[in-house]
Amino acid sequence: MRKILFFCLASAGALLFITHGNRLLAGEGFLFNGSLPPVPVPPDNPQTAAKVRLGMQLYFDKRLSADNTVSCATCHIPELGWANHAATDTGIKGQVGGRNSGSIIDAAYMKVQFWDGRAATLEAQAVGPIANPIEMGETLANVVKKLNAIPGYRAQFQEVFGTDATEEAIGKAIAAFERTIVSGPSPYDQYLQGDLDAMTPEAIRGMNLFKGKGHCSACHSGPAFSDGSYHNLGVGYVKGKYKDEGRFVISKKAGDLGAFKTPGLRNTAQTHPYLHDGSEKTLEDVIELYNKGGVPNPRLDPLMLPLNLTAAEKSDLVAFMNSLNGPVPVVKEPVLPN
Amino acid sequence: MKKIISRYFLAAAGCLALLAAAEAPAGAVPVFARKYGFSCTMCHSNYPRLNDFGARYRRNGYQLPGRENDEKTILQSPPPVALRTNAGFNYSRVANGAAADVRQFQLNGLDLLSAGLIDRNIGYMFVYTPVITPSRGSAAQDGVLEMASVVFSKLGSSWLNVRAGRFEPAYAAHSPKRLLSVSPYEIYGFSFPNGLTFDQTQSGVEVTGYGRNGASYAAGWVNGSETGNASQQASDFYARVEKVFGEGQGQTAGQRIGLMGYSGSAVPDSTLPAAGSKAFRRAGIDASLNYSRLNLALQYINGTDSKALWGKSADVNFSGGLAELSYLPATSVVCFARYDVVDTPSSVNMNITKWTLGGRYYPADNIALHPEYSYRKQNSAGGDITENFFTARLDYAF
């Protein structure tokens, strides 16, 4: 009896080592989807409460647009996962843009901003839509004039930056506010911390698919679930043409044709529809696209391959996506200065 | 009786505990998976067989395609060392042959592996099998440097990659080192006495290339046969072209067909009269066809060997191949059935037929429970040699 007990215990120990020992010995791997570290803050734009408050007001202020009808919050709606549910968004004068607005949750962790990475920093991103003729259609110079004409803003800019409103200060203030919109600990994070009941069995299977057969973490890597790089899934490639040339418009490199930045996946369940053109309505649709290996085109990313996922596996992946939902700050529209 | 029942109960509980442990959060797995934080199934449909992703990773010199700028070298990664072994129960009964019957638990070998990226576009693979002296259930194993190669990727473009050292050559369409079964591919192992076996690694240099259209090529110059090693010259050349139709790499998606040619020379075995190098050739066609979770692997090879290599009065022309059907009902399970055949002239009289049936169940990514049965028949002058082989083993790597 003792021998059998010893055999069972020794075998269990050996198997535990085989299946788990690597993690103990070697850490998590450099593309591992770990928990989010503290928000990175650039040295030239430190976070202060007053700056965040100013940035929040600017974020909600429609006066930053040419006809005073559109603010950042018009497209990135706090109650809708800081995104909205339209495929592409409507700017001033009812103009419809060509890309999905995406969520600003965890934008602070992205290496680059916008679907095509045209902004290197959150500060640059923050002022981009203001000058976009379809979105807010205003000039930055005019916005500066408008804000300096509002005593409540002028005083705040003086308090925070020691100057009147400037283009740079507007970008810094909005970026500082956006750095507070990060996802809190999700069931996945709790699971990583050792709470093995934090995720459902379906989500756990989905997690293993995510970093295995699903090939997801090859691009959706790191704590923010994005490699910050550009990949061509073939979305929008019709009759030999790319409806949107993506990163190519910025880089002019042929390899970037039809390629878009990998979005983060935390709280993604709340931010439908998906992809740069909002063409996939649900997570199930997105997974089906990946399961097919994307849309064949001459620049299809080499990481895109048919997956042969079963219906149960697709369902497990969705369950895992849902386990990435963490609490995000609840923000109500502030009283704006006059 | 009570005692027996409690023992069985305890053993069953132990087994359940093992499986439960294996179902717990999966840890990282050998070398590459550990480096990235991936599961084995990122690159393997069923370890050790590569999936399409793994095939692309391998041909890209152990770098994620398109993410070369993000890669880490071995100095920036966890220790790039892994171990693979398998152990279990083997049953083998040979009729009319020299081999003794086997019916025992055996340790079936051990591989020490190291692999990684030395620098951007420079990868390496190292596999060493240490000497194992047969004792107390350990099957004998020679100490062999199975693989020690460096691959230089994308020398100007994806159409030029160079692998040098001792490596797994590209002429074998279905990897003899990463096959699902324990039972080897007969056609790759068939040769003149003590001659070339296609299922072994080769020393030399190989050039490969591939494009976005699914076409690829490989050409190599290798030592070839190990017969008469002292006088053996590096005189073997091979080439292979393949094309994948549809999305995928032909491993788990897409339809792949390939053509292979091999021309070499070898010194006849020392028991044979002729001296000096004699020529031999191989030509083959292969396919890997995928439908949903089914894969059909096909290989046909025709060989022509100089009569001196066999000690016969005429050149020996033989042919053969394999057809293997595998099915993946779930990520953790694969079943396979294979038919091997080698057809030889009457002067040689070594026709081989073999049926293999098996499966692998993966309680965790890096461990497989592997039952397999094969029935092999080979003609010989003294009557047919038949072998019934069964194994149930654990195959694991970490």
The predicted-structure confidence for A236-264, as pLDDT tens digits, reads as follows: 999 999 999 999 999 999 999 999 999 99
B57, B210, B247: best mutation site toward chain A, by most A Cβ within 10 Å? B247
Is residue B333 included in any domain, yes or no?
yes
Please provide the average confidence, as pLDDT, over all residues in chain B: 88
Asked if A1 and B10 come within 8 Å (Cβ–Cβ), the reply is yes
Distance from CA of A140 to the nearest CA of B (A): 36
Please provide the average confidence, as pLDDT, over all residues in chain A: 92
**Domain boundary pick from A145, A178, A211:** A178
At residue B84, the 3 state secondary structure works out as: strand
* Separation of alpha carbons B98 and B109, rounded Å: 22
Residue B215, token pair as written in the block? 């076409």
ipTM reported for the complex, 2 dp: 0.86
Is residue B254 included in any domain, yes or no?
yes
Is residue A12 included in any domain, yes or no?
no
Do A147 and A238 reside in the same domain of the chain? no
Residue A3 has pLDDT above 80, yes or no: no
Distance from CA of A16 to the nearest CA of B (A): 6
How far is residue A10 CA from its own chain's centroid? 45
Is residue A11 included in any domain, yes or no?
no
Is residue A306 included in any domain, yes or no?
yes
The pLDDT assigned to A335 comes to 93
Contact list in A for residue B34 (CB cut-off 8 A) is: 22, 26, 29
Do A112 and A225 reside in the same domain of the chain? no
**Nearest Cβ partner for B34 among A29, A212, A292:** A29
Asked if A208 and B41 come within 8 Å (Cβ–Cβ), the reply is yes
Contact list in B for residue A29 (CB cut-off 8 A) is: 28, 33-38, 78
Asked if A293 and B248 come within 8 Å (Cβ–Cβ), the reply is yes
Q: Are B199 and B176 in contact (CB under 8 A)?
A: yes
Tell me which residue range forms the domain holding A116.
49-178
Sequence-distant (6+) residues with CB within 8 A of A194 are: none
The structural domain count of chain B equals: 1
Tell me which residue range forms the domain holding B265.
28-397
Distance from CA of A319 to the nearest CA of B (A): 16
**Residue range A217-232: average pLDDT?**
96
The pLDDT assigned to A4 comes to 56
Asked if B38 and A17 come within 8 Å (Cβ–Cβ), the reply is no
Is residue A17 included in any domain, yes or no?
no
Residue A18 has pLDDT above 70, yes or no: no
Is residue A258 included in any domain, yes or no?
yes
- State the maximum Cα–Cα separation within chain B, in Å, rounded to a whole number: 73
Is residue B17 included in any domain, yes or no?
no
Q: Tell me the pLDDT tens digit for each residue of B225-270.
A: 665 555 567 789 999 999 999 999 999 999 999 999 999 988 888 8
Is residue A1 included in any domain, yes or no?
no
**Residue range A113-132: average pLDDT?**
95
Chain B: residue whose CA lies nearest to A18: B398
Residue A180 has pLDDT above 90, yes or no: yes
Which sequence positions of A are flagged as catalytic? 135
CATH of the domain at A243: 1.10.760.10
% of chain A at pLDDT higher than 90:
89
Is residue B20 included in any domain, yes or no?
no
**Nearest Cβ partner for B21 among A15, A212, A229:** A15
> Of A32, A24, A27, A19, whose CA–CA distance to A189 is shortest?
A32
Do A159 and A212 reside in the same domain of the chain? no
**Residue range A160-186: average pLDDT?**
97
Contact list in B for residue A313 (CB cut-off 8 A) is: 331
Is residue B8 included in any domain, yes or no?
no
**Nearest Cβ partner for A212 among B38, B52, B249:** B38
The pLDDT assigned to B27 comes to 35
Contact list in A for residue B78 (CB cut-off 8 A) is: 25-27, 29
The pLDDT assigned to B134 comes to 77
Indicate the pTM of the whole model. Answer: 0.88
The pLDDT assigned to A126 comes to 94
Chain B: residue whose CA lies nearest to A223: B37
Q: Tell me the pLDDT tens digit for each residue of B342-353.
A: 999 999 999 999
Is residue B375 included in any domain, yes or no?
yes
| Burial (CB count <10 Å: 0-12, 13-18, 19+), residue B323 | middle
Residue B374 sits at φ, ψ, to 5 deg, of: -140, 150
Is residue A62 included in any domain, yes or no?
yes
Is residue B32 included in any domain, yes or no?
yes
Asked if A217 and B6 come within 8 Å (Cβ–Cβ), the reply is no
Chain B: residue whose CA lies nearest to A24: B27
Distance from CA of A185 to the nearest CA of B (A): 19
Buried b (16+ CB within 10 A) or exposed e, B198-231: bbbbbbbbbbbbbeeebebbbbbebbbbebbeee
- Kindly write down the DSSP assignment for every residue of B339-389, as one continuous string: EEEEE--TTT---EEEEEEEEEEEEETTEEEEEEEEEEEE--TTS-EEEEE
Do A157 and A238 reside in the same domain of the chain? no
At residue B26, the 3 state secondary structure works out as: coil
User: Which parts of chain B sit beneath pLDDT 70?
Assistant: 1-29, 137, 225-232
Contact list in B for residue A202 (CB cut-off 8 A) is: none
Is residue B9 included in any domain, yes or no?
no
**Nearest Cβ partner for B22 among A4, A19, A294:** A19
At residue A128, the 3 state secondary structure works out as: helix
Distance from CA of B384 to the nearest CA of A (A): 42
A18, A191, A207, A301: best mutation site toward chain B, by most B Cβ within 10 Å? A18
The structural domain count of chain A equals: 2
Is residue A35 included in any domain, yes or no?
no
Do A127 and A242 reside in the same domain of the chain? no
The pLDDT assigned to B234 comes to 74
CATH of the domain at B271: 2.40.160.10
Chain A: residue whose CA lies nearest to B33: A29
Q: How many CB pairs under 8 A join A and B?
A: 173
Q: Tell me the pLDDT tens digit for each residue of B177-205.
A: 999 999 999 999 999 988 877 888 999 99
Radius of gyration of chain A (CA): 23
Asked if A29 and B248 come within 8 Å (Cβ–Cβ), the reply is no
The pLDDT assigned to B104 comes to 87
Question: B21 or A316: whose pLDDT is higher?
Answer: A316
Do A207 and A294 reside in the same domain of the chain? yes
